[in-house]
Amino acid sequence: MNADSYVAIAFWILAIGMVLAAYAVVALPRIIHSALALVLFFFQIAGLYVLLRAEFIAAVQVIIYVGAVTVLFLFAIMLTNRSYAPDSNPANRQWIAAGVVSLGLLGTLLATLGRQTWPTGGQVPANATVLLGQLMLGPFILPFEIAAILLLVAMVGAIVIARES
């Protein structure tokens, strides 16, 4: 039992859990259950990021997705839906076609991945957060500032749209 084995165990637990959670998001008949499954999914993805040694991203994942976006979703559900109805998350008429397309996409992706080989030997530096800071304020400063503007615009727009006039 070395570190790799632990990683493998964790990976498989998380992978299965994530697929199940993702499936639950799609399949559960009540929208609020879907949303909660989504929370579970987000949380597990954070675990996956930890496995990938992206600890900062993992924390961000939990803070943003679990702590913020989910709240947004839950609020939206609670403000709009008759969320207690047993079938608040129905499928539409084209679900069969959607399934076919999704499976087709999956097949395409897997086939492509199967043909692809990747170089190996990547290492994540230990002080990743510091390096991220240097990257974001160095070469990625423009996207960084644009992200700020994007968020500003999103907020202004969303406030204008969401407010009851």
Partner 1 sequence: MITLQHFLVLSAVIFSIGLYGALAKRNVVAVLMCIELMFNAVNITLVAFARYLPATAGNPYGPLTGQVFALFIIAVAAAEAAVALAIILAVYRTRRSVNVEDVNLLQS
Partner 2 sequence: MDALNAVSNFISNVLPILRDLLAGLLNNFLPGWLTEIVMSIVSISVFLAFATIVVMSLTLVERRVIAFMQNRLGPNRVGPQGVLQPVADVIKLFAKEDIIPANADPWVYRLATTVMVIPALLIYAVIPWSQNMVIANLSIGILYFVAISSVSVVGLLMAGWGSNNKFALLGAMRAAAQVISYEIPLVFSIIGVAMLAGSLSTVDIVNAQRVLWFIVLQPVAFFVFFTAATAELNRTPFDLMEAESEIVAGYHVEYSGVRFALFFLAEYLNGFAVAALATTMFFGGWLSPVETIGNWFGWNLPPLLPPYAWFFLKTYLLFFILYWLRGTLPRVRIDQLMGLAWKVLLPLALANLALTSIGLYLYRVITT
Partner 3 sequence: MQTDWGNWGYVALFLLIATGFAFIPLVLSPLIRPRNPNPVKQATYECGIETVGTSWIRYYAGFYVYALVFVVFDVETIFLYPWAVAFGLLNWFALIEMAIFIGILLVGLVYAWKKQALRWW
Could you say whether residue 36 binds partner 1 (CB under 8 A)? no
Question: Would you say 30 and 88 are in contact if contact means Cβ atoms under 8 Å apart?
Answer: yes
Listed in sequence order, the residues at least 6 apart from 56 whose beta carbon sits closer than 8 Å to its beta carbon are 128, 129, 132
What is the C-alpha separation between 52 and 58, in angstroms, rounded?
Answer: 9
| Binding flag, residue 43, partner 1 (CB under 8 A) | no
- Least distance (Å) from partner 2 to the CB of residue 1? 4
Q: How far is CA 124 from CA 44, 103, 131, 133, in A?
A: 20, 34, 10, 15
Residues that bind partner 2 (CB under 8 A): 1, 30, 32-33, 36, 39, 43, 46, 55-56, 58-60, 62-63, 66-68, 70-71, 74-75, 78, 83-84, 126-129
Residue 3 binds what, of partner 3, partner 1, partner 2, none (CB under 5 to 8 Å, by partner type)? partner 3
Beta carbon of residue 115, minimum distance to partner 3 (angstroms, whole number)? 32
Nearer to partner 3, 79 or 97 (CB): 79
Q: Which two tokens stand for residue 150?
A: 């994007």
Q: Which of 35, 43, 47, 66 binds partner 1 (CB under 8 A)?
A: 35
C-alpha to C-alpha distance for 28 and 38, rounded to whole angstroms: 11
Q: How far is the CB of 130 from partner 3 (least distance, A)?
A: 5
CA distances from 156 to 148, 159, 162, 164 (A): 12, 5, 10, 14
Min dist CB 93 to partner 2, Å, is: 28
